[in-house]
């Protein structure tokens, strides 16, 4: 390849990478997967390494961060906030170890999980949080102080002894995975657009103009680095963490000091296997020279410390071809389009289907059947199509059209209320798909957590007519299960899992009232609303008798959920579920709440004067 061709390719890569950085860091709306971006980055690095005379002095590989949003004030960091260089396999990691060994004699390494969040710099002056900045371009960041102060784990005032005059601490703002799943389920049930992924959710939540919106999101922070310090000295990275923790700062326990490359490899392998057991998303492991003196001696490149490296795990965002868009019917009748794709390996499993949420979302994302699409899957998060790779379109793609009739029962699909962007099957009582999904949901961890009541078991109970609907579930017996081949062994005897199912159903009868409420699949009633209802009323009978106003006034319920509850109880077949469950021995009373006196129920308490240190 001629020098002019190489220069042209490098220029195109620089422009393409800058565009992707802007979409990722500023818009929080990437259009390529992390893996694809890393490939572009590595390609540019190799070209620059082989052709240093052609290297653009403004290349993104020489810079930090990716720019700014437009509505925040900007301030300088006291000490430059660097990025990290990446390696992707054992050979590249060993090359980094060799480079460090040539310039130092490090005896210990600190390994820690790499949090996939939004980089943040917290500045404390005389122990008081004075400013919080995003990374920005590494020199200057966006001022998000008011928003950061809404995060409960961030102290406004440091505690303890020997607090320095100035302290910069760096870390990541993240959206806990469990909370991310909960809020997305709520958004989907409400017909709203869900967040694409936890990292984007964290970035978008922190960059709100109104801190009250940020405060409503369950953000958290973990700190993993120190910038400028005046009035304290740290001998090592690990001792710095211990000191920061003693001052009340949120430091992760997911790090380890090791003395060999073999131990580093063990740490990497451990979290590769257990990455989805962590409360936040991680995309790799960061390895640091532990001794601060050696860190200072090694120094920095223009964009990253020489004494630290990020070992990146295989991507959880990949590309594949969208072969078709089909629809599924959920437990509340919501009809959801999903993508049927060429099989692709992502996050440890092979994926062929991924949710598209609703027809408006398909249109908003600009997805066509036949597109090459970006697919994301992290842990227990349902695989999701983020968007198309428009540059790879052939012209043979076609638009998706939402069906007009339920694919399972043939009922005419419609929006159930004005302004609802979802369409639903109105045949909730006898639609096979809704029945199957409700039975399956009853057994899920989100509801009654009934062992061995999985999807296939739920389907067999209905297909073999062992139950007509969920009202019959708790009356099942071993004799009933013997009527279905699914629950028998090859020799015709009842299977061990069938015995477990009956025992698990018996145990589930004593679940807390809020779980019973969740299991009823009342639209919009998730764990939060169910617990509020159980705490307020203590039994299902009182919930049924409650007025719309009484329900609406409960914190965690509100008008929409209250209306949904009244509509649910107005159906005779719904009330029949309650009657038959109670007859089968299901406890419809919250024992704890029933024992508590309700002396102050319905009263408003007014406090005069002032309360010291009350927030």
What residues have CB less than 8 Å from 228, skipping those under 6 apart? 77, 78, 79, 166, 167, 168
Residue 116 has pLDDT above 80, yes or no: yes
Tokens of 401: 């059209």
The CATH fold assigned to 317-392 is OB fold (Dihydrolipoamide Acetyltransferase, E2P) (2.40.50)
SS3 282: strand
Q: Which of 68-77, 311-320, 558-567, 570-579 has the highest mean pLDDT?
A: 570-579
What residues pair up with 87 in beta bridges, in sequence order?
311
Q: Say which residue, 396 or 24, is predicted with more confidence.
A: 396
Q: Domain spanning 74-312: which CATH class is it, in words?
A: alpha beta
Tell me what the mean pLDDT of segment 307-317 comes to: 87
CATH superfamily of the domain spanning 3-62: Helix hairpin bin (1.10.287.610)
CA angle 202, 22, 92 (to 5 degrees): 85
One of 2.30.22.10, 3.20.20.80, 1.10.150.20, 1.10.645.10 is the CATH number of 428-508, namely 1.10.150.20
Reference 112, options 313, 280, 261, 271; nearest CA is: 271
pLDDT at 612: 44
> pLDDT of 417-450, one tens digit each?
776 778 899 999 999 999 999 999 999 888 898 8
Q: Got the DSSP string for 297-324?
A: HH-B-SSSBTTEEEEEPPPSEEEEEEEE
Domain boundaries, the chain: 3-62, 74-312, 317-392, 428-508, 511-615
Tell me what the mean pLDDT of segment 321-327 comes to: 96
> pLDDT of 1-17, one tens digit each?
787 788 888 888 887 88
pLDDT at 615: 40
Contact criterion met (CB below 8 Å) for 330 and 437: yes
What residues pair up with 346 in beta bridges, in sequence order?
349
pLDDT at 596: 47
Contact criterion met (CB below 8 Å) for 124 and 167: yes
Reported confidence tier of residue 59, pLDDT bands at 50, 70, 90: confident
- The one-character DSSP state at 427 is -
Q: Where are the beta strands (DSSP E) in 411-518?
A: none
Reported confidence tier of residue 361, pLDDT bands at 50, 70, 90: confident
Instruction: Tell the residue number behind the tokens 């371009």, with chain if given.
Output: 137
Give 3-state DSSP helix, strand, coil % of the chain, rounded to 5: 40, 20, 40
pLDDT at 555: 85
Known catalytic membership, residue 179 = no
Q: Which is catalytic among the residues 114, 288, 312, 377?
A: 114
Contact criterion met (CB below 8 Å) for 255 and 264: no
Tell me what the mean pLDDT of segment 307-312 comes to: 96
From CA 260, how far away is CA 103, in angstroms rounded?
17
- pTM here? 0.54
From CA 307, how far away is CA 317, in angstroms rounded?
29
> Do the two domains 74-312 and 428-508 of this chain adopt the same fold?
no
> For the ranges 227-236, 302-311, 486-495, 597-606, which has the lowest average pLDDT?
597-606
Residue 600 CB neighbours (<10 A): 8
Q: Say which residue, 41 or 554, is predicted with more confidence.
A: 554
From CA 64, how far away is CA 303, in angstroms rounded?
5
From CA 240, how far away is CA 74, in angstroms rounded?
28
Contact criterion met (CB below 8 Å) for 75 and 168: no
Burial annotation 162-196 (CB, 10 A radius, 16+ → b, else e)? ebbebbbbbbbbbbbbebbbbbbeeebbebeebbb
What residues have CB less than 8 Å from 295, skipping those under 6 apart? 237, 288, 289, 305, 307
Side-chain-side CA neighbours of 11 within 13 Å: the count stands at 7
From CA 385, how far away is CA 45, in angstroms rounded?
29
Average pLDDT, the chain: 87
The CATH fold assigned to 511-615 is DNA polymerase; domain 1 (1.10.150)
Reported confidence tier of residue 212, pLDDT bands at 50, 70, 90: confident
From CA 265, how far away is CA 111, in angstroms rounded?
10
């Amino acid at each position: 390849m001629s020098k002019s061709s190489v220069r042209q390719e490098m220029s195109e890569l620089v422009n393409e990478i800058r565009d992707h950085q802007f979409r990722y860091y500023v818009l929080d709306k990437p259009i390529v997967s992390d893996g694809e971006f890393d490939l572009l980055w590595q390609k540019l690095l190799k070209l620059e390494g082989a052709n240093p005379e052609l290297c653009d002095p403004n290349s993104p590989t020489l810079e930090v961060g990716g720019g700014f949003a437009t509505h925040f004030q900007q301030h300088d960091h006291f000490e430059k906030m660097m990025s990290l260089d990446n390696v992707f396999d054992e050979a590249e990691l060993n090359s980094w170890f060799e480079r460090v060994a040539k310039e130092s004699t490090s005896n210990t390494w600190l390994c820690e999980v790499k949090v996939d969040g939004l980089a943040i710099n917290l500045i404390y002056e005389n122990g008081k949080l004075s400013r919080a900045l995003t990374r920005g371009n590494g020199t200057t960041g966006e001022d998000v102080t008011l928003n950061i102060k809404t995060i409960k784990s961030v102290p406004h005032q440091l505690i303890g002894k020997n607090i320095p005059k100035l302290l910069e601490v760096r870390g990541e703002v993240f959206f806990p995975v469990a909370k991310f799943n909960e809020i997305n389920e709520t958004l989907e049930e409400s017909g709203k657009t869900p967040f694409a992924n936890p990292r984007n959710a964290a970035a978008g939540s922190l960059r709100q103009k109104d801190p009250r919106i940020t405060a409503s999101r369950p953000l958290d922070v973990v700190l993993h680095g120190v910038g400028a310090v005046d009035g304290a000295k740290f001998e090592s990275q690990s001792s710095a963490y211990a000191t920061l923790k003693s001052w009340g700062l949120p430091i992760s326990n997911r790090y380890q000091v090791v003395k060999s490359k073999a131990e580093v490899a063990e740490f990497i392998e451990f979290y590769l296997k257990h990455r989805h057991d962590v409360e936040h998303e991680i995309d790799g492991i960061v390895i640091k020279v532990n001794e601060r003196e050696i860190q200072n001696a090694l120094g920095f490149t223009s964009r990253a410390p020489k004494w630290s490296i990020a070992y990146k795990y295989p991507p959880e965002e990949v590309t594949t071809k969208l072969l078709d868009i089909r629809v599924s019917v959920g437990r509340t009748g919501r009809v959801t389009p999903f993508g049927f794709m060429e099989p692709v390996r992502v996050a440890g499993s092979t994926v062929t289907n991924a949710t598209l949420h609703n027809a408006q979302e398909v249109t908003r994302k600009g997805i066509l059947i036949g597109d090459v699409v970006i697919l994301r899957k992290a842990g227990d998060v349902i695989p999701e199509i983020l968007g198309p790779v428009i540059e790879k379109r052939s012209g043979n793609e076609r638009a998706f059209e939402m069906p007009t009739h339920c694919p399972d029962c043939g009922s005419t699909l419609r929006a159930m209320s004005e302004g609802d962007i979802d369409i639903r099957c109105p045949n909730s009582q006898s639609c096979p798909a809704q029945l199957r999904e409700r039975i399956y949901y009853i057994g899920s961890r989100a509801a009654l957590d009934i062992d061995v009541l999985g999807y296939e078991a739920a389907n067999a109970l209905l297909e073999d007519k062992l139950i007509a609907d969920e009202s019959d579930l708790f009356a099942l017996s071993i004799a009933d299960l013997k009527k279905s081949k699914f629950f028998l062994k090859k020799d015709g005897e009842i299977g061990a899992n069938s015995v477990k199912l009956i025992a698990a159903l018996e145990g589930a009868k004593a679940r807390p009232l809020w779980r019973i409420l969740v299991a009823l699949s009342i639209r919009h009633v998730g764990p939060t609303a169910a617990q509020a209802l159980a705490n307020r009323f203590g039994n299902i009978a009182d919930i049924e008798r409650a007025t719309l106003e009484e329900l609406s006034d409960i914190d965690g319920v509100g008008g929409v959920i209250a209306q949904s509850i009244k509509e649910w109880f107005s159906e005779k077949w719904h009330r029949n579920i309650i009657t038959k469950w109670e007859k089968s021995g299901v406890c419809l009373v919250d024992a704890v709440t029933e024992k508590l006196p309700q002396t102050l129920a319905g009263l408003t308490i007014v406090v005069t004067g002032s309360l010291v240190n009350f927030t």
